[in-house]
Structure 1
Amino acid sequence: MSNIRITKQFNFETGHALYGYDGKCKNVHGHSYKLNVTVIGQPINDANHVKFGMVIDFGDLKKIVKEEIVDKFDHATVFNKNTPHLELAKELQKRDHSVILVDYQPTSEMMVIDFAEKIKSRLPENIQLHSLKLQETETSFAEWYASDN
């Protein structure tokens, strides 16, 4: 049986700020992110299985990514909790804003690494995460490939 790659795209809006950065992105700002999630596996070969012919049900993949990424990051602001942005984060949280505090600089590169770990931990053992593409603007994106890691 052949290995097949399945890709699903997700969209979400997230704000962030890059503490210590020497350009405009040191300011709080946001992006309309596009996340492409590609998994690889073999289609189910059991004709009696309800998901016969599928690598993974797109709905099952959607559930994982929505719960781990989209539902948490959509319309949230992400800050590195090891910076003075922590004070701003606490103030926003007091005002009922959605804030995510992470252990890393919230660049697309670091976010895609975080997302890969979250998604990998939820996939069925016969399905492997192949790649992620996190696009923050029309012309800028970060990619993660299992084969590189």
Structure 2
Amino acid sequence: MLVYLSRKESFNAAHQLWVPSWSDEKNFEIFGKCANKNFHGHNYELWVTLKGKPDPVTGFLMDAKVLAKLMREKVTDILDHSNMNMDPNFLPEGVLPTTENLVYYIWQELAPFLPDNCQLHCVKLQETPKIYCEYFGE
């Protein structure tokens, strides 16, 4: 039996999308309001979905409370109320804090800490009510 377990957490963070080697005009043309020199913020929603076989004794794939703690310690407590361009976090220097980049690096932060009976299936990050990105480890 293969099951999927999802947990949702949230955080608020600011960022700016800006390529230093480009002109101001090109940055604003490509990134629009996201290139605001004073940064801007989002209320992010993060979903993490695991897949695997439940423990035969507990029936859990992973205790949801433990998953929540892992998500907070490795991701949301680090990013919440941060400026993702300036504050220390897990994005390598020079990597723009786009939703696309964030889901990949969130995956990298969480994957090593999962129990042996399960693995990450999907990291989904919603930036606005109309925009989200998913990463499936590919």
2:62 corresponds in structure 1 to 56
Query: Paired residue for 1:44, among 39, 55, 60?
Result: 55
2:117 corresponds in structure 1 to 126
1:140 corresponds in structure 2 to 131
Is 1:35 aligned to residue 40 of structure 2? Answer: no
Aligned residues with identical type, % of pairs: 33
How much does 1:65 deviate? 0.5
Q: What stretches of structure 1 move > 2 A for 4+ residues in a row?
A: 100-103
The count of residues paired between Structure 1 and Structure 2 equals 123
2-structure distance, mates of 1:24, 1:60: 37
2:23 corresponds in structure 1 to none
Q: Which amino acid aligns with 1:123?
A: L
Mark the runs of 5 or more structure 2 residues left unpaired by the alignment: 20-26
SS at match of 1:120: helix
Residue by residue over 1:103-131, the C-alpha shift from the partner in whole angstroms, topping out at 9 and shown as x without a partner, is 21110000110000001011112210000
Residue by residue over 1:74-111, the C-alpha shift from the partner in whole angstroms, topping out at 9 and shown as x without a partner, is 000111xxxxxxxxx4xxxxxxxxx2353211100001
Structure of larger gyration radius: 1
2:3 corresponds in structure 1 to 4
SS at match of 1:119: helix
1-structure distance, mates of 2:115, 2:55: 13
2:53–2:61 contact (8 Å) kept in structure 1 = yes
Residue by residue over 1:1-35, the C-alpha shift from the partner in whole angstroms, topping out at 9 and shown as x without a partner, is x0100000011101011113332111200000000
Residue by residue over 1:29-50, the C-alpha shift from the partner in whole angstroms, topping out at 9 and shown as x without a partner, is 000000010001111113xxxx
2:102 corresponds in structure 1 to 111
Structure 2 length normalisation: TM-score? 0.85
Q: Which amino acid aligns with 2:122?
A: S
Query: Paired residue for 2:35, among 26, 34, 39?
Result: 26
2:55–2:117 contact (8 Å) kept in structure 1 = no
Structure 1 length normalisation: TM-score? 0.79
